[in-house]
Amino acid sequence: MSWWDFLRRQRSGKAAEATSRSRRQRQRRGRAIASWPAWLPPVVSLVLLTTVHGLLFPVAPRLQSDFPDAGQIADQEIRAPFDFQAPLPEQDIEMRQLQRVLVEPPVLLRLDSVDQAMRERMSSFGRLQVELTGLAALSVGERTGILALRYPDWDEDDLRRLAALRNPAPLLTGVVEAVEALTETGVVDNLPPGNYSNVRILSDDVETTVETEQIVHQEQVESWLTSTLAESELEAEQVTWVSHLLRPMITPNLVYDAGLTRARRLAARQSVPTVQEILRGERLVDRGERVTEIHALTLRTLESLILIRSGPQAGGEVAVQTLSRVVLLLAMFLLFGWVLRQGLPKVFTDIRYLVSLTLILIVFMFGAASALKYLSLGLFAVPIVWLAVLVTTLFKEKAGYPAVLLAVSLTAFSTEMSSLGMVSILLLGLSAVTLVRRIRQRDQFYQAIAVLAGLGLLLVALMDLSSGSFEARIWNEFLVALLTPVASVALALFLLPLVEPMVGVSSDLTLLELSDLNHPLLKRMALECQGTFHHSQVVGQLSEHAARAIGANSLLTRVGALFHDIGKMSKPDYFVENQGGGRNRHNELSPSMSALVVGAHVKEGIEMGRHWRLPQAVIDFIPEHHGTNVMKYFYHKALEDKSNETIKVDDFRYPGPKPQSRETAILMMADAVEAATRSLAKPTPGRIREMVKQIADDRMLSGELDECGLTLKDLAVIRESFIPLLTSIHHTRIAYPGQKDHSPANDGDGRT
C-alpha cells in the first residue's frame, strides 16, 4: 500500500466518522422533535407570525410628534400619516377672502322701461325726418325751426346740418341699427371696482352672465356710437356729429344693484375655506427646508391630532381594532396552511419546511415595513419579488403562488398601502413566480429580471396615470422599480446555497449542477464502473421521460437516477454490468453472503452521498429505488441449496424504505425494466411491452408503491412511456455477412 492510498483511506475514514456523527446528531434531534405534539409547530409559527405582524404594522402606529418650529431647518422629510384638516393663517384667509370678493361679478338690473323709451324716441326721430323730407319746398331755416321745436336742447348747428340733408335714409338706417345694438348690449350707469371679468344681469327674474367687455358704460356711449357708425354708409364727417347728436338720447338701461352685489360678495367671502385638506402621504416639509409659519401651523395641528389619537380615550377603539385584526390574520394564515397542505403536505411533516417558510415571511414583513415607512422609495421597494423567487425556487409554484397572495394580504393592513399599490405588487409577485417556476438554465434568471423590471416600470407609469398626477418623485419610483428585481433575484440566488441544506430541498439550479457529468462522483463512476455508469444514464433517460409524462419533477428524477447506484463503486466487480463477461465473483460466495454484499451498496451509497454533501432529495433515491424488494436470484439460489440451513426471505430483502415520492417510484420501475429487458434473448416490442407490464404489476401487487402517491392512471402512463425508449435502445440491426449469432449468456445476476 502506498503512502498516498494510506492517507486517502485515513481521510475517508475520518470523513465517514464525521458523517456518521452528524447523522446520529440529526437522528437525536429528529427523535426529540418527533416527541412534540403534531399541532405545536404550526401553532408556534402562527403565534410568531401574528406577533411580528402586529409589531411591524400596529393598529395604532407610533407616530412622530416632535416637529421643528418656525424658522428651523427640517432634518428629515415629514409626510402626513393620515388625512386631516389644518387651519390656515389669518392673513392668508383674509387675502383669499379679498381675492374672492374682488372676482365676484356685480349684479345689474335691466330696466325694460328705459329700453322702451329709447325705442320710442328713435321712432319719433325717424318719423320727423321723413316729414321734413316731404317739406322740400321749405327753406333750410324753416326746417331748422321745426326741429328746434321738437328738440330744444340740441345745438343749433347740429339742427341746421340735419335739416339740410336731402336724403336722410342712410343716416336713419345707421342710427336705428346702432341704437338697437346698443339697447340689446346694454348701457350701464356704474360698475364697482374689482378683478371680475363677468357681470350678472337680472331681467324678469332671469339671470344671465355676460362678459364685462360686452356691455357699454354710459361714459363710453359716444365713442361706441362713433365706432359702430363708422362701419355704416355715413361719411366720416357725418359719423362724428351724428354720434354727438344722439348721445343725449341714450340713457342707461342697466343699473348697478349695490345691495344685492354686497350680499353675494359676503356669501362668496364666507365660502372661502379656513382650513386646508391634507391627504395621507402628502409631503408637509421636505428635508433641509426652512419651516415657515404655514408649515408650523400645520405641524402643530398634526401634533395635537397625534396626541388625541394616542390618548386613553382611544384605548377601547384600539382594542376592538386589534381583536378584529387578529381574527383576520388567523383566518388568512389558516387558509394559507390549508392551501399548502393540498400542494405541499410536507410542510406539516418536516419542521424544516415550516421553519423556513415562517422565517421567509418574517423577513418579508420586516422588508415591507421598512419600505413602506419611506414613501420616497415607492411601494415597489417591498421585497415581493425576493419572496416569490426564493419560495418558488425552494418549494415550487405550489407554495409560490399562495405565499405571494399571503404576503400581499399582510401588507394590506399598512396605512401606507393603497389599493392600486396592492394590485401592482400582486401582479409583480405572481409574474415572478410564473417566470422562475421552470428554471432549466441560468439565462432564464436574466430573462426574468428583464421582464420584471419592464413590468415594474409599466406599473409605476399606470399607477401615476390612474391617480391623475405626475409628481417629481415618480422618477425615484421608476429607479426603484428598475433595480428591485435585480437586487431581489441576486439576493435569492445568494441565499439558495445556504438555505437549501438547512431546509433539505434541492432547487432546480442545484439539480442542474448535479446533472453535469463532470461531477467528481460521476467521473469516478465512469472510470471505475463503466457498466453502472451507462446503466445510470439509460435509467435516467427512462425516468425523466416518465416523470415528464405524469407531471412529476423530471429534473430531480434524472439526477436521482445518475446517483442512485454510486454505492456500487466500493465493490464494482460484484455487479454483473461491470464484469465485462468475466468470471462472476458470486459463484465463490454463498447466497446469503452475496445478498449482504449486494445489499451493502445501498448503505455505502448513502454514506458516499452524505460525504459529498448531495441533497437529501437525491440521497433518498439510493434506498428507495430498491424499496423492500427481495433479491430473488440469491433467494432462489439459497432455496436450491441442499443444506439444512433455514432460509428466511427477510434476509434477502433490501432495507428500504419503500418509495416515498412519485419520482423514486418511477426510478424503481425504470431500474427494474432496464435490467430485465437486457436479459431478453430477442427484445421485440411485444416482449418489451409484456416485460414492462409484468414488472409494474409485480411492484404494485407487492405493495412497494403503496406510499409513493402514484395512481393507477399514472402507472399506465409510466408503462407506456417506457416502451418507445426501450424499443429504440434494443433495436435490431441487419446481420452482416459472416456475423455469428450470439445469444446473451447470464451466468449469475448480480444486477440489482
Has residue 194 got a pLDDT over 60? yes
In 173-290, the DSSP E strands lie at 187-188, 198-203, 206-211, 216-217, 254-256, 275-278, 283-285
Cell numbers for 722, please give them: 417506457
Residues 503 and 506: their CA atoms lie apart, in Å, by 9
Dihedral class, residue 194 (left if φ above 0, else alpha if ψ from -120 to 50, else beta):
left
Report yes or no: 473 and 371 within 8 Å, Cβ to Cβ.
Answer: no
Q: In the predicted model, what is the mean pLDDT of residues 595-602?
A: 87
Q: How confident is the model at residue 215 (pLDDT cuts 50, 70, 90)?
A: confident
Count the residues in the chain: 752
Query: Hey, which residues does 208 pair with through a beta bridge?
Result: 201
Q: How confident is the model at residue 71 (pLDDT cuts 50, 70, 90)?
A: confident
Residues 259 and 7: their CA atoms lie apart, in Å, by 114
Has residue 442 got a pLDDT over 70? no
Residues 415 and 58: their CA atoms lie apart, in Å, by 10
Name the residue with higher pLDDT: 649 or 609.
609
Three-state DSSP state, 151: coil
Stretch (H or E) spanning 21: helix 3-34
Dihedral class, residue 71 (left if φ above 0, else alpha if ψ from -120 to 50, else beta):
left
Angle CA(233)–CA(236)–CA(237) in degrees, nearest 5? 120
What pLDDT score does 129 carry?
A: 67
Residues 491 and 497: their CA atoms lie apart, in Å, by 11
What pLDDT score does 184 carry?
A: 81
Report yes or no: 557 and 511 within 8 Å, Cβ to Cβ.
Answer: no
What pLDDT score does 471 carry?
A: 54
Which residue type occupies 671? D
Cα-to-chain-centroid distance, residue 291 = 37
Has residue 24 got a pLDDT over 70? no
Residue 73 DSSP code? B
Stretch (H or E) spanning 85: strand 84-87
Give the torsion through C-alpha atoms of 69, 75, 76, 82, to 10 deg.
Answer: -10
Pairing of strands 84-87, 275-278: antiparallel
Stretch (H or E) spanning 540: helix 530-550
Report yes or no: 749 and 576 within 8 Å, Cβ to Cβ.
Answer: yes
Residues 256 and 192: their CA atoms lie apart, in Å, by 8
CA distances from 164 to 129, 156, 157, 192, 243 (A): 11, 12, 11, 44, 17
Write the pLDDT tens digit of every residue in 72-131.
888 777 878 778 888 888 888 888 889 888 889 999 888 888 878 877 777 777 776 666
Q: What is the 3-state secondary structure (H, E, C) of 289-348?
A: CECCHHHHHHHHHHHHHHHHHCCHHHHHHHHHHHHHHHHHHHHHHHHHHHHHHHHCHHHH
Q: Kindly calculate the radius of gyration of the chain based on its CA atoms and give it in whole angstroms.
A: 49
Stretch (H or E) spanning 669: helix 662-678
Has residue 251 got a pLDDT over 90? no
What pLDDT score does 317 carry?
A: 66
Residues 285 and 430: their CA atoms lie apart, in Å, by 37
Write the pLDDT tens digit of every residue in 140-153.
777 778 777 777 77
Cell numbers for 726, please give them: 426501450
Sign of CA dihedral 67, 70, 73, 77: positive
What pLDDT score does 720 carry?
A: 92
Residues 6 or more apart in contact with residue 259 via CB below 8 angstroms: none
Q: What is 104-132 written as a DSSP string?
A: SPPEEEE-HHHHHHHHHHHHHHHHHHHHH
Residues 6 or more apart in contact with residue 114 via CB below 8 angstroms: 251, 252, 253
What pLDDT score does 545 carry?
A: 93
What pLDDT score does 738 carry?
A: 60
Q: In the predicted model, what is the mean pLDDT of residues 202-218?
A: 85
Sign of CA dihedral 561, 564, 570, 576: negative
Report yes or no: 186 and 224 within 8 Å, Cβ to Cβ.
Answer: no
Name the residue with higher pLDDT: 260 or 239.
260
What pLDDT score does 332 carry?
A: 92
Residues 328 and 348: their CA atoms lie apart, in Å, by 22
Report yes or no: 583 and 543 within 8 Å, Cβ to Cβ.
Answer: no
Residues 425 and 383: their CA atoms lie apart, in Å, by 9
Name the residue with higher pLDDT: 135 or 155.
155
Write the pLDDT tens digit of every residue in 365-403.
999 988 887 766 667 888 999 999 999 988 888 899 999
Nearest to 350 by CA among 617, 664, 659: 617
Stretch (H or E) spanning 186: none
Q: How confident is the model at residue 744 (pLDDT cuts 50, 70, 90)?
A: very low
Has residue 196 got a pLDDT over 70? yes
Q: Is the pTM of this model over 0.75?
A: no
Q: Spell out a b/e string for 51-89, using b for 16 or more CB atoms within 10 Å of the CB, else e.
A: ebbeebbebeeeeeeebbeeeeebeeebbbbeebebebe
Which residue type occupies 83? D
What pLDDT score does 32 carry?
A: 47
Q: Spell out a b/e string for 582-620, using b for 16 or more CB atoms within 10 Å of the CB, else e.
A: eebbbeeeebbebbebbbebbebbbbbbbebebbbbbbb
Mean pLDDT of the chain: 81
Pick one of 1.10.3470, 3.40.50, 1.10.287, 1.10.3210 as the CATH number of 510-729.
Answer: 1.10.3210
Report yes or no: 397 and 340 within 8 Å, Cβ to Cβ.
Answer: no
Angle CA(681)–CA(685)–CA(686) in degrees, nearest 5? 85
Has residue 623 got a pLDDT over 90? yes
Scanning 58-168, the segments in alpha helix (DSSP H) are 90-103, 112-134, 140-150, 156-163
Residues 366 and 407: their CA atoms lie apart, in Å, by 11
Residue spans of the domains in the chain: they are 13-59+316-505, 107-256, 510-729
Q: Is cis: bond before 657, omega within 30 of 0?
A: yes
In 517-598, the DSSP E strands lie at none
Q: How confident is the model at residue 254 (pLDDT cuts 50, 70, 90)?
A: confident
Q: How confident is the model at residue 3 (pLDDT cuts 50, 70, 90)?
A: very low
Report yes or no: 673 and 542 within 8 Å, Cβ to Cβ.
Answer: yes
What pLDDT score does 681 carry?
A: 78
Write the pLDDT tens digit of every residue in 651-706.
888 888 999 999 999 999 999 998 888 888 788 888 888 999 999 999 999 899 99
Query: Hey, which residues does 290 pair with through a beta bridge?
Result: 73
Has residue 616 got a pLDDT over 80? yes
Report yes or no: 118 and 256 within 8 Å, Cβ to Cβ.
Answer: no
